[in-house]
Structure 1
Amino acid sequence: MKFERSRSVCMLLATAALAGGLSACVPLVMGGAAVGTLVAVDRRTSGTQLEDEGIEFRAANRLHGLYGDRAHVNVTSWNRQVLLTGEVPTQEDRQKAEQTLREVENVRSIVNDLVVAPPSSLSQRSNDTLITGKVKASFVDAKDLVSAAFKVVTERGVVYLMGRVTQREATRATEIARGVSGVTKVVRVFEIISEEELRRNFANPQPAPVTRDPDRTP
């Protein structure tokens, strides 16, 4: 049992490290949507997963054209809700990024958590990738959570949690993420659904009202 747990953690960390290495090659990073076998357990429809990938691709291209190498912006789309994280040079750039995203097809809502600051260092981004891997591994090991229901994004030690989840799952996932070493705070960007809705619509989820519940306590 201990070996299986260790192996799952190592595999997730290795995957996260690989993703971090690839994203380091470009200034704008797409969050990436789950594909392949996750389609069967993801609470988004397969069509929505493809839409999310398209949103991230189009948004990243537009923002790269807007900023070039002047900014470091991460674009993550989950059920057509877009999370913007990273650093931009000015407040005007921050507002322009959100405005640009509103023109991207299929975007349902935007959470803009860009900060006005110099781009984060490569070591900081590598550390963020490691934290993301550890949070994901902790979700896999939790017996009372479906890990594929969550999208995890880390920026400067801040962990963002996305997904269509119940209040119980949201609370539990937040507790787990808080306990991971290196996490400075947890921000919840969830769509809250009822337990009944989860049972009824798991195989074919529909968009729920978007809620944003930032938890600024480490």
Structure 2
Amino acid sequence: MGKDIAFARAAGVALLAATSLSGCVAATLVGGALATTGVSVAQERSTRQALTDTEIQLTINNKFLNEDYGLFADISTEVVEGRVLLTGSVPRQEESIRAAELVWSTPDVTELVNEITVEEDPGLMSYGSDLWISTQLRAEILADTQISGVNYNVETVNGVVHVIGVARNAAELSRVLNLASRIDGVKEVVSHVLTKHDARRAVG
């Protein structure tokens, strides 16, 4: 990923970087716990699981930062009930493999969905378009009264939309995926969503 794109993504996670460098991850978790607890009341996952997911995400990002700033800047991490989704673009396959190794070395990870692409330099325009797609989809999901928006996370890479979360039912999930497919610039929609009663869901 180009330097401009890496800078743009890094700016979005600057607070996490500062936290990681200072070694105060535990303090961040305390602050994040307050926000997570409030949101999780409306989520399908439990408050305990939401807090565990936050800890997993912070730990993975901290590992990426300590391993290689490029991993931290180029890869996005989403965690839902111990299931980790990695998206982004890296210049070499070895970096994707190393990112996966770091994820699996993190406690409480139950599944890894590695959607990292290997691409020398996707360009700043592509990143801007992806960000705009994700922003529009998040807004539409939250605005739709037939969708429990807090249960879904969205990432877009090169026009491919990745959705992860917990759907209340198949109809709701279908509605989310339909919203995504109708947005200009979307090339493909990939669902990593489990429904509420799926036996694969973590309990806790």
Deviation at 1:176, TM superposition (A): 1.0
Specify the alignment match of 1:170 in structure 2: 173
Letter in 1 for 2:163: L
Please tell me whether residue 192 in structure 1 is matched to residue 195 in structure 2.
yes
Tell me the residue number matched to 2:25: none
2:12 maps to 23
Letter in 1 for 2:182: G
Q: Give the equivalent residue in structure 2 for 1:200.
A: none
Cα deviation 1:144-169 (Å, max 9, x = unaligned): 21112211122222211111112222
Deviations 1:10-53 (A, max 9, x none): xxxxxxxxx96841759x9xxx9972532220111111111111
State TM-score, norm by structure 2: 0.74
Mark the CA change 1:127 to 1:102 in structure 2 (over 3 Å): closer, same or farther: same
Q: How many residues align?
A: 177
The equivalent residue for 2:52 is 51
| Equivalent runs, 1:1-218 vs 2, <5 Å | 22-23=11-12, 25=14, 35=36, 37-69=38-70, 72-165=74-167, 166-194=169-197, 208-209=199-200
User: What's the offset of the Cα at 1:82?
Assistant: 0.3
Q: Secondary structure at the residue paired with 2:106?
A: coil
Q: Secondary structure at the match of 1:69?
A: helix
Equivalent pair of 1:72/1:120 in contact (CA under 8 Å):
no
Letter of the 1:209 counterpart? R
Determine which structure has the larger helix proportion and give its number: 2
Partner of 1:5: none
Gaps of 5+ in 2: 1-7, 18-31
Percent of aligned pairs with the same residue?
A: 24
Quote the Cα distance in structure 2 between the aligned partners of 1:20 and 1:142. 28
Distance 1:20 1:180, change over 3 A: farther
What is the rounded CA distance, in whole Å, between the counterparts of 2:162 and 2:37 in structure 1? 23
Alpha carbons of structure 1 residues 68 and 50: separation in structure 2 relative to 1, 3 Å: same
**Structure 1 pair 54/120, CA: closer, same or farther in 2 (3 Å)?**
farther
**Aligned residue type for 2:74:** H
Could you say what secondary structure the match of 2:191 adopts? strand
How has the CA–CA distance of structure 1 residues 94 and 55 changed in structure 2, closer, same or farther, with 3 Å as cutoff? same
Q: Is this contact kept in 1: 2:92–2:120, CA < 8 A?
A: no
- Structure 2 SS opposite 1:44: coil
> How far has the Cα of 1:84 moved from its partner?
0.7
Deviations 1:84-122 (A, max 9, x none): 111223222212211111010111100001111125444
Aligned AA (2:192): V
- State how far apart, in whole Å, the 2-side matches of 1:183 and 1:36 are: 33
C-alpha change, 1:20 and 1:41, in structure 2 (3 Å) is farther
CA RMSD of aligned residues (A): 2.9
